[in-house]
Structure 1
Amino acid sequence: MTAPRRPIAELPLRVRYHECDGQGIVFNAHYLAYVDMCSFEAEKALFGSHDEFLAHGTDVVVAEANLKFRAPARYDDELVVSQYPNHLGTTSLIFDFEIRRGETLVAAATVRYVFIDPASLRPTPPPDAVRKVYAALLGD
């Protein structure tokens, strides 16, 4: 039996009225914003802050995002966004995200980030110190 995955970060949030569409449910684009907010919480947990991550001489950009909607979220729902490591490549990093309302899975996301050189904005392998942090999450 496989042990349950442990999240890198969890972000509790409450759905705000303006995030809902005319049908009274969270507008789809807001789920990516929730994922992005959680990714910064993970960065803080791993490196101390976004600035401390950038001090390593690297940054990341989103190259691909996939969302699967499972149940609607509505105004004033209390959600938790959880981030899990998935894959570390040569210049990319993949995370899985779950957005839950209690035990109900509301949405699942997979996001591929690419490490870039902040000056040229070109893909580049991450510095060894950064690679080690992410590799440790995956047991590599």
Structure 2
Amino acid sequence: MNPAETKAHTAPARSHFRCLHRLRVRWAEVDMQKIVFNAHYLMYADTAMGEYWRQLAVPYEAGMKALGGELYVKKATVEYHASAQLDDVLDVGLRCERIGNSSL
């Protein structure tokens, strides 16, 4: 086994995130094992992204028009450390690490 895989996961400090969006796992998001179906984690990130723009006080549609473009997800990767279950409360953290100056 890879040594990196055996290390315990340490979550980043909450202070490392500009936006924290709290949500509760709903019945429609879990499978027969009562854990969140994998695809929903990306939906949680997308929902938190909308909240990120709200917290910046920039409505998404108006912000994109002012910036003259749109945001696109070029790549999305999810690394699982534990399953979220029905009725769990999750804090989804977002931050911008880098802004480049080139397009896709």
**Structure 1 residue runs of 4+, over 6 Å off?**
none
Counterpart position of 1:128: none
Higher helix share: 2
Greater length-normalized contact order (CA 8 Å, ≥ 6 residues apart): 2
3-state DSSP class of the match of 1:41?
helix
| Structure 1 position 18, deviation (Å) | 1.0
Take 2:57 and 2:88, find their aligned partners in 1: how far apart are those partners? 30
Q: Which runs of 5+ in 2 are unaligned?
A: 1-12
Residue 34 of structure 1 contacts residue 81 of structure 1 at CA under 8 Å; is this kept in 2?
yes
Counterpart position of 1:29: 39
Take 2:62 and 2:56, find their aligned partners in 1: how far apart are those partners? 10
TM-score (norm 2): 0.77
**1:42-121 maps to which residues of 2 (within 5 A)?**
42-56=52-66, 57-91=68-102
TM-score (norm 1): 0.59
Percent same amino acid at aligned positions? 32
Q: CA RMSD in A?
A: 1.6
Higher strand share: 1
Q: Which runs of 5+ in 1 are unaligned?
A: 92-114, 116-122, 124-140
Residue 53 of structure 1 contacts residue 59 of structure 1 at CA under 8 Å; is this kept in 2?
no
Take 1:30 and 1:16, find their aligned partners in 2: how far apart are those partners? 10
